[in-house]
Amino acid sequence: MITTSGLTKIYRAHRSHGREVTALDGVDLHVREGEVYGVIGQSGAGKSSLIRCVNLLERPTSGTVSVDGQDLTALAGHGPRAGKELRRARSRIGMVFQHFNLLSSRTVQDNIELPLEILGKSGKERSRKALELLDLVGLADKAKAYPAQLSGGQKQRVGIARALAGDPKVLLSDEATSALDPETTRSILQLLRDLNRQLGLTVLLITHEMDVVKSVCDSAALMEQGRIVESGTVSELLATPGSELASALFPVGGEATGADRTVLDVTFHGEAATQPVISQLSRTYNIDISILGAAMDTVGGLQIGRMRIELPGRYEENVVPIGFLREQGLQIDVVDHTAQEPVLVKEGAK
C-alpha cells in the first residue's frame, strides 16, 4: 500500500554551505494493505521526515514513494507548492498530528468539513459526512464546540475524524498520541485499531513509545539515524534472535546469580508455548534451572511468552541442553555470552 525505496532526505542549512543533515538515508519501507505499521525510533532518528515524505509534505532528496500504486514522487510540484495531481493524491491520504492542528476559529464540525470543502463537496453532503464521522469517533455531542473547549483526547478524535473525511485508504499518524496521557493514549490507539478493522484502513504511525507498537501494530520498523535497522511483522521480529525491537517490545529482566552460569532468554510462541519444556529439560539432563524473570503478553494480537532462565555451568557445558530446547521449537538467545563462539550461537539459532 505504501512503498518507499531508497528514500533520502538531506537538509541543507541556509547560508552555511556544507553543513548538511541527513534525515533519511536510503529508507525502504513496505506497508501492506490493511495493516497497522509502526515506525519507532528516538527523536532525531528521522521518523517525522519519513512520514512527511510519504505524502510529500517534504520532498525527498532522492528515492521514490508510492501510495496505493501511485508514484507520488513523479507528480508535479515545485518546491513547497504542490501540483493539482499531488494535491488530489494527498486528499486520499489522511493525516493526524501530534498537536492536532485543528483550526481554533472553526467549530468541531467545521473542522471536519474542511477537507470536504477542499474537495468541493456540497454543504449538505459535508454536514452529513461530518456528523457521521463525529459519531464514529464518539463525539456526536461536540459538533458545535470549539477546539479550545475540548480535552486533548477529544481534540485528537476530531483530528482523526477530519483525517477520515476524504475517505482515505491510508492514514498517517505523526506521533498522534505523544501529547496525551496514558489512559487517553490507550483509547485513541483503540480507536485507530477499530478503524483499521472496520474500514480496512492502512495505518502508518510513527512513535517513540514502545507501548504504542505493542498494542496496535501488526508490523514494526526500528529507525536509527535515518535508517531502518529492523523491520517486519511483530511475529517475525519476535522470532528474530537478537532483535532489538523484539527485546524492547517484550523485555525480561534478571541478572546471573554468579560466574559459571549460563543465562538464556527463551521465547515461546505458537505450539511450543503449550509444552512443559522446562521440566522436561530438568528431568532429561538432571540439571537445576532457576527462573530469573518471565512474562506473558499479547503483542500485535499474538500470545507470547518470554522467560529468562539460568543453567549451572558455562556455555560450553550447556550446549546439549540448549540444543534440546531449540529442538522443541523454542527460540533461545544466550545472554551475555562472552564472545567465545558468537557466530556459532547466531547460526545455531537460525
Partner 1 sequence: MTWSEMQPLLSQACSETFSMVAWSTLIAVAAGLPLGILLVLTDRGGLLQNVVANKVIGQVVNVGRSMPFIILMVALMSFTRWLTGTTIGTTAAIVPLAIGGIPFFARLVETAVREVDNGLVEAVQAMGGNSWTIVRKVLVPEALPSLIASTTTTIIALIGYSAMAGTVGGGGLGDLAVRYGYQRFETELMWITVAILAVVISLIQFAGDYAARSLHHRGARSGPAPKLRLLKAEEPEAADIAKVA
What residues make contact with partner 1 under the rule CB under 8 A?
14, 55, 57, 79-82, 87-91, 93, 95, 97, 99, 101-106, 114-115, 117-119, 145-149, 151-152, 155, 162, 166, 172, 179-181
Distance of alpha carbon 154 from alpha carbon 222, whole angstroms:
29
Nearest approach, Cβ of 84 to partner 1 (angstroms)? Answer: 8
Nearest approach, Cβ of 143 to partner 1 (angstroms)? Answer: 14
Nearest approach, Cβ of 29 to partner 1 (angstroms)? Answer: 18
User: Which of 71, 161, 171 minimizes the C-alpha distance to 113?
Assistant: 161
The single-letter code of the amino acid at 338 is T
Distance of alpha carbon 182 from alpha carbon 177, whole angstroms:
9
| Residue 184 backbone phi and psi in degrees, to 5 | -65, -40
Q: Strand, coil or helix: what is 25? A: strand
User: Which of 28, 100, 91 minimizes the C-alpha distance to 60?
Assistant: 28
Distance of alpha carbon 233 from alpha carbon 38, whole angstroms:
10
Nearest approach, Cβ of 204 to partner 1 (angstroms)? Answer: 13
Nearest approach, Cβ of 87 to partner 1 (angstroms)? Answer: 4
Q: Which is nearer to partner 1, 185 or 318 (CB)?
A: 185
Helix (H) or strand (E) holding 71: strand 70-71
Q: Which is nearer to partner 1, 90 or 214 (CB)?
A: 90
CA 245 to chain centre: 10
Q: Which is nearer to partner 1, 74 or 103 (CB)?
A: 103
Q: Which is nearer to partner 1, 87 or 208 (CB)?
A: 87
Q: Which is nearer to partner 1, 22 or 101 (CB)?
A: 101
Q: Which is nearer to partner 1, 75 or 304 (CB)?
A: 75
Nearest approach, Cβ of 135 to partner 1 (angstroms)? Answer: 21
DSSP character string of 252-272: -----SSSSEEEEEEEEEGGG
